[in-house]
Structure 1
Amino acid sequence: MTTPVPRIALATSTSGPDPSIAGLALIAGLTARGLRVQHFRARACPTPTEVVAHATGMPGRHLDTWLMPPDVCLTLLAGGVRSAGLAVVEGTFDGPRDGGGAAETPACPEVWPAGPASGDLGPLVGLLDLPVVAVASVGGSRCGTFHLPRPPRGAAAVILDGVDSPEELERCRRLVRLTSGLPVVGAVESLPAARREVESAPPGTFPREAVEALAASFLRHADLPAIEALAASRPYPDFVERPALRRPPGAPAFRVAFARDEAFGCYFPDTFEALAAMGAQLVEFSPLCDGSLPDRVDLVMIGCGLAERYAGALASNFSMAASLRQHVCRGQRIYTEGGGSAYLGRSIVVDGERFPGAGILPVDAEFAPAPRPPERVVRTLTRDSWLGPRGTQVRGYRSGRWNLTFSPAAFECPSCAGRLSGDGDFYFRHHAVGSFVHLHLAALPEVVSAFAGPHHPSLVRPTPVRRPEPDA
């Protein structure tokens, strides 16, 4: 492949905000210098923070070698750089693993309750041939009295994080060169006030002044020519790019309404791009504030988010719940994940208080007092649905934030509502599908095609018959 793909891997700590302070300073600083930067997390995690989009002007993206086949990872990285000048893939090499072999858990409020910020860089570095820049935390200690963290094997350069003075920076720079032979291509000062502001910023907000201070700090000490040379130092691996999804000739246009407000808003940008390529017209709506769904909607999507924080406000919007139920009764489709699926259930329980849900899915969802880490799962659909025929397999991350109780209505026909998998995390009612497994649809073209495919509502409004006027 001859097209240049400038890229680096940023190896960060196993704990802290997402992105890391050093990573945020780097991407914001390079953006301030006029370079378009595409940031990738090394784990597929929809997140409502949107700090990357505010810092770079480009939505954050994700790579995940467990969730995505190699050709998808290669295609997504190369495609992301087409509209940018540099790709920064942020993750870690040494995070803890659970019994299923999953990498450490990024801090996404919906899927991952707390913990380390990024995913495992190791497989991505090999697959994508990424030059590695290691972030070494100075941590407020003097370089003369402690040893800097050892850079990961194969690192090509180092960025120092948390330096207190120019003198400390020079001491640490010499120590890195002496112990590892690696160049220091940047540094971020300690700036405790700015760091606190970034780390304590509520989801959905952007601490602009703090981020600008961190970016300016990085630029004061950055060797930009060295970073650009490192990013362009390796040819991109040869691969056959996965064909993009396209709208079939003659296929009718369809409208997709997706929830975006304070309660919901966690989506992968690749999902919307895939739907748009299939001919979808995308429109936003708010389950918190709107009184009804947008007009002429074929598919409704409600992603994960913070449903437990807004359970009372969601329950009080009776007209939106009624609009969603009418959408299902007309035979139209809904797809939800995580907190969106909890909202579509019969009830949401938070700290012992029960709030009515939209009353569509046959499940009661209790917000877990001690949320569990996510679990890598492969699920098989046990019945035919518009999501796929019986036997379809999907893989994703099972959220540990919700305890679920299957609660079908008395005398309800099991063909109308029930479980869609044998594991108790996919549910349906007519053409509404709710999942507590977070999928990355860019890696599931057959599912995206089902989203965009032809759909025949189970209920069709009868056409009024005009009766002849009686003779006078």
Structure 2
Amino acid sequence: MTDMPGIMISAPSSGTGKTTVMLGLLRALANDGLHVQPFKSGPDYIDPAFHHAASGRASFNLDTWAMGEDLLGAICDQAKGAEICVAEGSMGLYDGVATRGQSGFGSSAETAQRLGWPVVLIVDVSGQAQSAAATALGFQAYNPDVPFAGVILNRCASPRHERLARRGMEQADITVLGVLPRRGDLTLPERHLGLIQAVEHPDLDAAIAGYADFLREHVDIAAIRAAARGQIPVHARTQLPKPPAQRIALARDAAFSFTYPHLLEGWRAHGAEILPFSPLSDEAPDAEADLVWLPGGYPELHGGTLAAAETFKSGLAKHAKTRPVHGECGGYMALGEALIDKAGTRHQMAGLLGLVTSYEKRKFHLGYRRAVLEAPLPGHAPSAALRGHEFHYSTILQQPDAPLARVADADGNAVPETGSHRGHVTGTFFHLITAEEAQ
């Protein structure tokens, strides 16, 4: 282990203001001249791009369910050169799954405990006053081994409300690191998978600058810096995942953007050449690529544009005759026969797989996935066990191709979204995080 001070921004539940606090704090610390390394605890693939915009450094996911000790160590190693780490939790502090994964159950509390990063708990005090202290006290006491820095009280309605809420925290001997007045303009735009993508925000830098000013006015940033402590693991074997090919044509635009940062960093670190192209701009993948990779994203919002992208589709089909093509979630849907949007309009996709998906009747799919391959996937042989995460609202109407894998949720229950393969083309509904580490 090596010393690396950090903190974990968490909350009792989702929707309490973690992300706006995180972005404001990252920018404020960066403005103070600190080299700040952001992380995201859990399998979120939208927040890291916001973290990067706020701090100027790439953000990486830390996931104790999907990742073993070696990969966690390799990702923590990305903090080299930083002076402080700031991690944003997922959901509530102790929320995870019931069955242990590669090194834990996936909660933000596990990440904080393992790295020794004290928790800054964002408590929404709207609709309560002294009672908020009971919530904070319960979170502090639930696992005494999780380090606890204090609380930021969010959405405080008035000076009187603040006095009462502070009184409760004093009685519970809980440090108040800041109090944020209620402000409607501090809400980031959202859609059905959570926040909109960072690239879609109309004026992201100005918004983050506003969050930083707001935090500097109402939060004791010096106290948060003083509370930061912890260590990151150092293992001789640590390395990020190897690339599935040497030259990778990667779809990259508003329809295809969900790739875990540690994968891309690992591919580059091992010498792979990443060749971005835009299906929405009707660009074909590089003709010299060894592999075409279509990440997840929001193809359902761009069905008509993708259906009309003949150069993209013909280039994809030409590549697939001799070399592998893989799609994840939205990329998988784009490789299929058709995609039906929420209005019921059918859009013709690439047709390299027989998959037909629909958003007309939304069905929520969320959770970790463990997949044992029945056919090769680029970079992984049959029988390899992979860890990933699924998050979408589409429904399968047709899937005539051979299943790619036996897929189960975190508790081992089989799920019907097995992915599929045809010729050189593969697709999955889960976003790959890593292959299982040898025990």
**Aligned-pair distance for 1:403?**
2.2
Q: Which whole-Å CA distance do the structure 1 matches of 2:374 and 2:425 have between them?
A: 16
Question: Could you tell me whether the CA contact under 8 Å between 2:75 and 2:240 is conserved in 1?
Answer: no
Tell me by how many angstroms 1:265 deviates. Answer: 0.8
Mapped partners of 2:291, 2:330: distance in 1: 18
Mapped contact 1:48–1:265 kept (Cα < 8 A): no
CA distance in structure 2 between the partners assigned to 1:304 and 1:445 by the alignment: 24
SS at match of 2:350: coil
Q: Does 1:403 align with 2:395?
A: yes
Q: 1:298 aligns with which of 290, 295, 298?
A: 290
Structure 2 residue 431 is matched with structure 1 residue 438: yes
Partner of 1:457: none
Q: Is the alpha carbon distance of 1:168 and 1:224 closer, same or farther for their aligned partners in structure 2, counting shifts above 3 Å?
A: same
TM-score (norm 1): 0.77
Inter-CA distance 387–74: structure 2 relative to 1 (3 Å threshold):
closer
> Within 1, Cα distance between the matches of 2:380 and 2:128?
59
- CA deviations on 1:367-391 (whole Å, 9 max, x unpaired) are 3623314133322112345443321
Q: Deviations over 1:300-332 (max 9, x none)?
A: 111110011111110011121000000011x11
Q: Which residue of 1 aligns with 2:55?
A: 56
- Letter of the 1:318 partner, please give it: E
Distance 2:49 2:337 in 1: 30
Q: Indicate the residue corresponding to 1:90 in structure 2.
A: 88
- Are 1:347 and 1:359, in contact at CA under 8 Å, matched by a contact in 2? yes
1:389 is paired with a residue whose SS is: coil
Moved more, 13-22 or 33-42: 13-22
Please state if 1:338 is matched with 2:338. Answer: no
Give the corresponding residue for 1:212: 209
Q: Distance in 2 between matches of 1:47 and 1:371?
A: 20
Tell me which residue corresponds to 1:456: none
- The alpha-carbon distance between structure 1 residues 160 and 386, as it changes in their structure 2 partners (threshold 3 A), is closer
* 182-191 vs 308-317, greater mean Cα deviation: 182-191
Give the unaligned 5+ runs of structure 1: 104-118, 409-416, 447-472
Percentage of matched positions with identical amino acids: 25
**SS in structure 2 at match of 1:288:** helix
**Offset of 1:287 from its aligned partner?**
0.5
Residue 418 of structure 1: CA displacement?
2.9
> Which residue of structure 2 lines up, in the alignment, with residue 136 of structure 1?
123
Counterpart residue number, 2:404: 420
Q: Which amino acid aligns with 1:432?
A: V
Find the residue that maps to 1:370 and give its secondary structure: coil
Tell whether the 8 Å contact from 2:96 to 2:107 is kept in structure 1 after alignment: no
In the other structure, the counterpart of 2:26 is 27
Q: Which residue of 1 aligns with 2:411?
A: none
Q: 1:276 to 1:208 in 2, by over 3 A?
A: closer
Task: Give 3-state SS (helix, strand or coil) of 1:215's partner.
Answer: helix
| Closer, same or farther: CA 393–69 of 1 in aligned 2, 3 Å | same
- Cα distance change, pair 344–48 in 1 and its aligned pair in 2 (3 A): farther
Once the 2 structures are TM-superposed, how far is the Cα of residue 256 of structure 1 from its aligned partner? 1.4
One-letter amino acid of the counterpart of residue 156, structure 2: V
Contact 2:282–2:310 (8 Å) recurs in 1: no
Q: Is the 8 A contact 1:246 1:279 kept in 2?
A: no
User: If the length of structure 2 is used for normalisation, what is the TM-score?
Assistant: 0.82
Q: 2:93, 2:109 within 8 Å by CA — same for their partners in 1?
A: no
> Aligned residue pairs: how many?
408
Match of 1:173 in 2: 166
* Aligned position for 2:410: none
Take 2:324 and 2:383, find their aligned partners in 1: how far apart are those partners? 20
Q: Structure 2: any 5+ residue segments left out of the alignment?
A: 407-415
Post-superposition offset of 1:15 = 2.2
1:147-158, aligned counterparts within 5 Å?
Answer: 147-148=132-133, 150-151=135-136, 152-153=139-140, 154=144, 155-158=148-151
Q: 2:338 aligns with which of 333, 347, 362?
A: 347
Equivalent residue letter for 1:418: A
**Inter-partner Cα distance in structure 1 for 2:218 and 2:94:** 28
Is the Cα contact below 8 Å between 1:187 and 1:217 reproduced in 2?
no
Partner amino acid for 2:305? A
Q: Describe the shift of the 1:160–1:170 C-alpha distance in structure 2 as closer, same or farther (beyond 3 A).
A: same
CA shift for structure 1 position 407: 4.6
Q: Compute the RMSD of aligned alpha carbons.
A: 3.1
Question: 1:80/1:161 Cα in 2 relative to 1: closer, same or farther (>3 Å)?
Answer: farther
Q: 1:51 to 1:383 in 2, by over 3 A?
A: closer
Q: Equivalents in 2 of 1:185, 1:195: separation in Å? A: 19
Label 1:280 to 1:384 Cα distance change in 2 as closer, same or farther (>3 A): closer
1:337 to partner: Cα distance: 0.2
